[in-house]
Every structure is written in C-alpha cells, then in structure tokens.
Structure 1
Amino acid sequence: MSACEVSVIVPVHNNGNNLPNIFHDLENQTLTKFCVYFVDDASTDLSELLINQAVQDDNRFFYIHLAENMGQSHAREVGLRHVTTKFVTFLDADDRVNSKWLEKMYNSILSGADISIVGYDMFENHLGGKKIQGPTFSNRILRGQDEILDEWLHDTQFQGFLWNKMFRTRLLIESKNERTFNWLEDVAWINSFILQLKQVNIDSSIQYHYIQSRNSSMHRFLDPRDWIAFAILADQLQKISHNGSERIEILSLYRTIQIGLMYFSQIRLTDSSKVKMNKKIFIQTTRIFLKNGGRQLNLFSSSTKIFLWLMVKTRFVVIFSRIRVRLIKIRDFLES
C-alpha cells in the first residue's frame, strides 16, 4: 500500500454484472500506483465473490464489507476512512473509465489544484448503448473564489458528482458533510468545502463513461428519508451566496431553483402536503430571484420562466414541476 499515490473508492451494491468491466478498466490504467477500496454495501448477488477473487489477483485491490445496506453516500464515507493517500477519487460500479482516467486527473492536480476534473459522456444501460447528450468540456483553470463559484453554480463543467474528479483527500476528511440522504448527496458534500477551494483544473478529454440506468436516483420518486435534501442544499447555497459578488448571490438562487425543479418533479402528488416547508423555501427563493435581477441573466428558458411564475402564483409546485418534466421528455423524444 505504501506505493499508492491515489486512492479509488468504489461503492458496490449488486453490481456483479459490471464488476469484471470495472476490474479490467482499473487494471489497464496507465497510472499504476493506486489503491482501490471496493465497499460492498450488503450486496446479495455475486459481487462479494467477484471482488474477493479480484483482491487475490491484484494486491492494489481491497475489500470492505458492510452488513447493512446504507446507500452509496455512507459507503463512500466508510471507504474514505481507509484512505491514506494525498489524493482520492471515486468510481461508480456500474460505469466505465478509459485507461488514462487516473493519469489525466493526477497530472492535473499535481499542478497545484484542489480538484482536477476530466470530461465524461453518457450512455443508456451500457457502454455502446444510446448516447445521451451531455456537456461540452474545454480546458480551463479556475482560480479564485468568484471564478470557482461562478462555474460551480452554473453547473456546466464543474458539476455535482464525484466520479470525474480527483480531490485532495484532506478536503473531504475535514469537510462537514450532510450524509443523511442519498439524493444529490455529492452536491451537498462539495458545497461543504467549496469556499476552501483556491484552484480547480478542467481537462476536456473524455475519460469517464457514465451509464444511466432506469433505476437511477434521478429516475425514481424520492424516498421519505431523502425529503430533507432540498432544505439542506438550499441552506448551503444561501450561505455560499454571502461569500461572493452580487452575481454569485443571483447564481446561488438560480442553483437552488434548479435543484428544486428536480426535487419536486420526483415527489409523489400524494406526498405534496408532506414537503410544505420545502415548497415554502422554493417559492421564496424564486420570488427573490425574479425580483432581484435573475431574469436579466437569461439562466432559464422562456418556458421554464412561465412554469416558475405559475408555481409562485398558484403554489402548485409539485404538479407544475412534474408537468414540466413530462413536456421536456416529449420534446426530447420528438427531437431524437
């Protein structure tokens, strides 16, 4: 383990079908001095057997077993406790990576960055499946709080997930992370230390392949344990808004609304009355955004602005959020 320069944390829950691909991708990394912690979140398939065999074959692989399924966020936290390297990254067990995934992030972060980012693409169900339109990446070095926050709040290249990023381990260990939910938990984690960042490097090369499944947390109704997510994220973003320019304040409101639109579209109509406080936060935030110049930045499409106006006027936040998503899906289908 002393030869490790980078740690990779891989949460696993019934990912036996893709684990051979994960082993292959990791074994073929051009950067070879790394350790991998497979955190088995109480899998009931062949994951344990497959990982233990891989551990026997590669001394850079380590197996951690959790007796109870607690979710990906908790599994990552457990994995982090074992990390002793200066740098750490994450890999989801249903995704794929290129051979230079680690090398690109490692070389980039060595230039003095707190976080290095590489590009990614998205596929439905498996690598080679239908390709999903994703962001366009460009090589950038973000320096200073306002520049970093501007990119983070815009949610374009510096986005709210861990797997296409390498971090200085101390940031994650020292951060206060709200790990009580499993919806946009990565955003909450990055929010908790975003103000400490001095430099973020972005490499435009596509190194990570995100495989989107129908069981993704972004394609299901929220579990009651996740209802608290929006309030926590909104509170974090409000605190961030106090640490930048007027533009950062408006962008913090924008990001809160953007998250809210996703959140309420995943709430059942029958549960609408159970998230009243979150609806109140969302409506107040939207009013402030529209009143304080948010419209001038053209951050939302014309159709979304109409939906926001309807939500503020009627307070039917869940209904209109879900109608909006349905219309977007119809539009995407017609354009495909």
Structure 2
Amino acid sequence: MSAPACTIAVIVPVHNAARYLPDCLESIAAQQFDDFCCILVDDGSQDESPVLCDNMAAGDARFTVIHQPQRGVSAARTAGLCRALEIGAGWIAFCDADDLYHPAFLSTLYKAVQETGLPLACCRYDTFADAVPAEAAPSAAVKRLDRPAHLDALLHDHAVDYGLWNKLYAAALLTPAMLDNDLAYNEDLLANWQAFCAAPGCAFCDYAGYHYRQHADSASRRGLPPQSLDDQRRAAALIRGSVPPQWPALQQSANAFYYEKLVYLASMILRRADIMPYRVQLGELRIGITAGLNDRQLGRNPQLPFAIKASAWATVHAPKLWRWVCRNFLKDRQ
C-alpha cells in the first residue's frame, strides 16, 4: 500500500513491539498536526506487530506499512526515509515503537521551524515506566541554537540528546547513508552529528514533547555487548575527526566528548561483576585514557568536567579502588 503525500512523514521502526505498539500508534494518530503520514517499518517481527501495523493502516489512511526481513533499526529507519522521500514528504520525524508522542509534538516542532526558518528542531524528552508523565502545554518560546552552538549542544546538552526521535528534520537534511551508517550502537548520534553539520542551526522547544519508555527490553537497559563499546568509541572518534576546521572551540568540545566517552566506557566495564569478556576493550580504553591524561586536548581539556578528570586519574593510578567505586556506586547497567 502506498502512502499519501504529506508535509511530515513519521517513521516508526518496529521489531517485536506488540506489547507497546498500540499505545505508540494511538499517540501518533492523536497528533494535533493534521498533515502527516506515518510509515511503519516492520523489521522481521515474530510477534503480533505485523498484524497490528496492517490493521492500523487499514483503519487510518495516514498510516502505511513496509514489511521487510530483519535487518536492524538503522536499516528500518533507512527504508522509511526512502519511502518518505519517494512520496515527497517535506519533513521527517522518528518515533520508536515503544515510546509516545505528546499530542503537540509535531505541531510544536513544525511551528518552530516555520518561525525560525531553520531546517531542524528538537524538544526535551521525559522517561516513564508505567504511568505516562503529565503532559504540560508546550512553551510558546523557541530558542535558536545557531552554528556551531547546536553542535556543541548535541554533544553535551542532555535536553537536545543524541536520539533521532525528539527532533524534526527537513527532508533535504537527511540521506539514507546517514541513517544506515554501519553502527549498531550510537548510530543515532553519528547520524545527528552529520545532519547537524549540514544545518545552520537548530530550533529548541523547551518542553517534554517525547515520552521515552524504560523497560527491561529498552536499549538503555540491556546488557553490554562488546560491540557496543567498539561502536560508541568509533562514533566518538568519527565525530572528533570531522569537526569543521573553522570552529576551533568546537574542536575542543569534540575532544572533550571523545575523552569523556573513553572514561565512561571504561567505567561501564568496571561496574560489572565479570570483566573478562571485555578485557580487550578495557585494555584499549586504558591505553587511550593513559595517553590522554596530561594532554591539553584530552585529559586536561578545560571543557572536560572535573568529575571526568578525576575518574580518568583513578582509572590509571588507582584501578582497584576505582573498580570498587564503580561496582558499589555506579549501579546502572550492571
């Protein structure tokens, strides 16, 4: 079934999401912005998700479905983007199949890009497990983040965040290669970095327009596959190596982000009961942290938070004590 032309195409990658998908689709269908279409990409689901997608498309002409063999979330988003570009959508938004939109998500971000003339807008998000957070009315004020401030915010401001899902993009800003970038982890961060580099700025709406569901199967709650460590480090290295040369302050920011990522990933390993499956990654991270400890671009970077500097020092000079701290005080994702 082909999708109708629309102003905004919402792309939802779906894989075995039947438990949460109806709520997600209901939140999209209830948007106060009328001129949208929703492209559901069923990525080889083995549960009831394909039927739920087909039923939604049969009952609401704004929804259409792509069924494909399982290829991963990046490939699913890419398939959705290709369909959106084929039908001439002017703007692109994303939603994960277990999350929810605020009713004014699309209308608020679209209003922001129209008012500012920028090809990119984002809003804050909140998290929930069971009850959906109370939905406050969006603020009428829109903050402009002109380049390179929007790139710095992408790296360091958790309100902007790495995710694709709390943002609205001009369709011309995204390419299939950006989304399907050969990373399984932090793929959204790298895609956003490339999109943000192509944009003159970002409009920021200071309200929680996206509701991020946390549950046992959430990406943020899963274990720690060694590939995730490799991918996150690779994404940070690619960002550090691709800062436009006319922004030296942004280079410092990217250097700090890279070093902070090394320290963070080492702590992720050290907080686990068994670190042997990660011995190669931990060794590589320690080498990088040690080499950068006295480097003004890395460990002595003035933009690096003191807590990260202290953690880096402890990783190198007090490894047993630091592992005890990580095991006893850094409880998440153990």
What TM bracket, shorter-length normalisation? 0.7 to 0.9
Q: Which digits, 9 at most, give the CA deviation of each residue in 1:289-332, with x for residues without a partner? A: 577752x44x4244x43221122346x59x947943751449xx
The equivalent of 2:245 in structure 1 is 243
1:220-239 to 2 correspondences below 5 Å:
220-239=222-241
1:270 counterpart = 2:306 = no
Q: Does the 8 Å contact 2:266/2:285 carry over to 1?
A: no
Q: Which digits, 9 at most, give the CA deviation of each residue in 1:105-132, with x for residues without a partner? A: 1121223112101222111x23348x9x
Q: Which amino acid aligns with 2:145?
A: L
Measured at CA, do residues 163 and 307 of structure 1 come closer, stay the same or move farther in structure 2, by a change above 3 Å? same
The equivalent of 2:143 in structure 1 is 140
Question: How far apart, in 2, do the equivalents of 1:152 and 1:214 lie?
Answer: 27
Q: Does the 8 Å contact 1:260/1:282 carry over to 2?
A: yes
| Larger mean Cα displacement after TM superposition, 255-264 or 83-92 | 255-264
Tell me which of 296, 305, 311 is aligned to 1:300: 305
Measured at CA, do residues 271 and 30 of structure 1 come closer, stay the same or move farther in structure 2, by a change above 3 Å? same
The equivalent of 1:134 in structure 2 is none
Question: How far apart, in 1, do the equivalents of 2:239 and 2:64 lie?
Answer: 36
1:256 counterpart = 2:258 = yes
Question: How far apart, in 2, do the equivalents of 1:201 and 1:37 lie?
Answer: 25
Q: Which amino acid aligns with 1:76?
A: R
Tell me which of 105, 113, 127 is aligned to 2:118: 113
Measured at CA, do residues 101 and 14 of structure 1 come closer, stay the same or move farther in structure 2, by a change above 3 Å? same
The equivalent of 1:5 in structure 2 is 7
Question: How far apart, in 2, do the equivalents of 1:191 and 1:321 lie?
Answer: 32
The equivalent of 1:82 in structure 2 is 83
Question: How far apart, in 1, do the equivalents of 2:249 and 2:262 lie?
Answer: 20
Q: Which runs of 5+ in 1 are unaligned?
A: 132-137, 331-336
Q: Does the 8 Å contact 2:190/2:239 carry over to 1?
A: no
Question: How far apart, in 1, do the equivalents of 2:91 and 2:58 lie?
Answer: 25
Q: Does the 8 Å contact 1:264/1:322 carry over to 2?
A: no
Question: How far apart, in 2, do the equivalents of 1:321 and 1:241 lie?
Answer: 34
Measured at CA, do residues 144 and 86 of structure 1 come closer, stay the same or move farther in structure 2, by a change above 3 Å? same
Q: Residue 4 of structure 1: CA displacement?
A: 0.7
Q: Which amino acid aligns with 2:80?
A: G
Q: Which amino acid aligns with 1:46?
A: E
Q: Which amino acid aligns with 2:266?
A: F
| Larger mean Cα displacement after TM superposition, 88-97 or 58-67 | 58-67
Q: Residue 99 of structure 1: CA displacement?
A: 1.1
The equivalent of 2:190 in structure 1 is 188
Q: Which amino acid aligns with 1:97?
A: Y
Structure 2 residue matching 1:210: 3-state secondary structure: strand
The equivalent of 2:97 in structure 1 is 93
The equivalent of 2:287 in structure 1 is 280
The equivalent of 1:135 in structure 2 is none
Q: Residue 46 of structure 1: CA displacement?
A: 1.1
Question: How far apart, in 2, do the equivalents of 1:33 and 1:120 lie?
Answer: 23
Q: Which amino acid aligns with 1:62?
A: T
Q: Does the 8 Å contact 2:123/2:159 carry over to 1?
A: no
Question: How far apart, in 2, do the equivalents of 1:18 and 1:292 lie?
Answer: 43
Structure 2 residue matching 1:203: 3-state secondary structure: strand
Structure 2 residue matching 1:192: 3-state secondary structure: helix
Structure 2 residue matching 1:288: 3-state secondary structure: coil
Structure 2 residue matching 1:63: 3-state secondary structure: strand
- CA-based RMSD of the aligned residues comes to 3.0
Measured at CA, do residues 325 and 185 of structure 1 come closer, stay the same or move farther in structure 2, by a change above 3 Å? farther
Measured at CA, do residues 126 and 301 of structure 1 come closer, stay the same or move farther in structure 2, by a change above 3 Å? farther
Tell me which of 200, 204, 207 is aligned to 1:198: 200
The equivalent of 1:334 in structure 2 is none
Measured at CA, do residues 102 and 177 of structure 1 come closer, stay the same or move farther in structure 2, by a change above 3 Å? closer
Q: Residue 200 of structure 1: CA displacement?
A: 0.5
Measured at CA, do residues 45 and 212 of structure 1 come closer, stay the same or move farther in structure 2, by a change above 3 Å? same
Measured at CA, do residues 139 and 288 of structure 1 come closer, stay the same or move farther in structure 2, by a change above 3 Å? farther
Q: Which amino acid aligns with 1:259?
A: K
Structure 1 residue matching 2:253: 3-state secondary structure: helix
Question: How far apart, in 2, do the equivalents of 1:240 and 1:155 lie?
Answer: 19
Q: Does the 8 Å contact 1:250/1:289 carry over to 2?
A: no
Q: Does the 8 Å contact 2:74/2:179 carry over to 1?
A: no
Q: Does the 8 Å contact 2:77/2:179 carry over to 1?
A: no
The equivalent of 1:311 in structure 2 is 315
Question: How far apart, in 2, do the equivalents of 1:164 and 1:225 lie?
Answer: 25
In the superposition, the TM-score normalised over structure 2's length comes to 0.83
The equivalent of 2:47 in structure 1 is 45
Question: How far apart, in 2, do the equivalents of 1:210 and 1:67 lie?
Answer: 26
Q: Does the 8 Å contact 1:5/1:34 carry over to 2?
A: yes
Identity %: 23
